[in-house]
C-alpha cells in the first residue's frame, strides 16, 4: 500500500472567537500546495482514496489534492486525522479502508507522529513542513505497521 501523508498548507491566524477547526488556507498556502501537488502528479501519485481531517484547512487541502491529482472519488472526513488524534487511530482508519493508494490530509503533530509510527520508531522526529507530502509504503496491513519511507517533498524542494 502506498500512503501519502500531506500536511495542510499555511492557514490564516485565528481571529478572536474563531475556532481552530474553522481556520482556512491562505493564498500563499494554496500556492505552495499546488507546487507540491504538481510535482506529485508528475511523480505518478494517483490515490484510490483521500482521507481528511474534518478541520477546514485540511479539507481545503484535500480538495486541492483531489483536483491536482484528478481524483474522482469521495473525500472521506475522519476525526482519526484531527491534529491531536493518535497514530494508532489513524492507522486503524487506513486499515479499515483497504485501498492500494491512500492520501491523508492532516496536521501536526499527527503527521510526523504517524510517520514515525509507520516506520516503527515512535521516538523518531520528522519535520513535516506545511504543505509537505511524504510517500510511505506498507507491505502489510497488520495491527503494527511495517513501512518504508520512499520520499518527502516540501514546497522548497518542489521548485517553482
Exposed (0-12), middle (13-18) or buried (19+): which is 81, by Cβ within 10 Å? buried
Is it the case that residue 159 has pLDDT exceeding 80? no
Range of weakest confidence among 23-27, 36-40, 136-140, 155-159:
155-159
**Residue 109, pLDDT score:** 95
Give start and end residues of each alpha helix (H) in the chain: 27-42, 56-68, 87-97, 110-118, 155-158
pTM tops 0.85, yes or no: yes
How close are the terminal C-alpha atoms of the chain, in Å? 30
pLDDT of residue 139: 87
What pLDDT, in 10s, does the model give residues 37-53? Answer: 999 999 999 999 999 99
Sheet of 101-106, strand order: 75-77, 49-52, 101-106, 2-7, 133-138, 147-153
CATH for the 2-158 domain, from 3.90.550.40, 3.90.1150.10, 3.40.50.1240, 3.40.50.1360: 3.40.50.1240
Q: What is the pLDDT of residues 92-110, one digit of tens each?
A: 999 998 899 999 999 999 9
Q: Can you count the helices (H) and strands (E) in the chain?
A: 5, 6
pLDDT value at residue 160: 53
Which residue ranges make up each domain of the chain? 2-158
Amino acid at each position: 500500500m502506498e500512503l501519502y501523508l500531506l500536511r495542510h498548507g499555511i492557514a490564516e491566524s485565528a481571529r478572536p472567537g474563531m475556532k481552530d477547526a474553522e481556520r482556512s488556507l491562505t493564498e500563499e498556502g494554496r500556492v505552495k500546495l499546488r507546487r507540491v501537488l504538481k510535482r506529485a502528479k508528475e511523480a505518478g501519485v494517483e490515490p484510490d482514496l483521500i482521507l481528511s481531517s474534518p478541520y477546514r484547512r485540511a479539507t481545503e487541502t484535500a480538495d486541492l489534492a483531489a483536483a491536482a491529482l484528478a481524483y474522482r472519488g469521495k473525500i472521506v472526513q475522519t476525526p482519526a486525522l484531527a491534529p491531536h488524534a493518535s497514530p494508532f487511530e489513524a492507522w486503524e482508519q487506513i486499515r479499515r479502508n483497504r485501498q492500494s493508494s491512500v492520501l491523508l490530509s492532516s496536521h501536526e503533530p499527527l503527521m510526523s507522529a504517524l510517520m514515525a509510527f509507520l516506520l516503527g520508531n515512535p521516538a523518531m522526529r520528522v519535520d513535516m513542513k506545511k504543505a509537505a507530502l511524504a510517500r510511505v509504503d506498507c507491505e502489510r496491513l497488520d495491527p503494527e505497521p511495517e513501512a518504508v519511507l520512499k520520499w518527502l517533498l516540501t514546497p522548497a524542494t518542489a521548485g517553482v
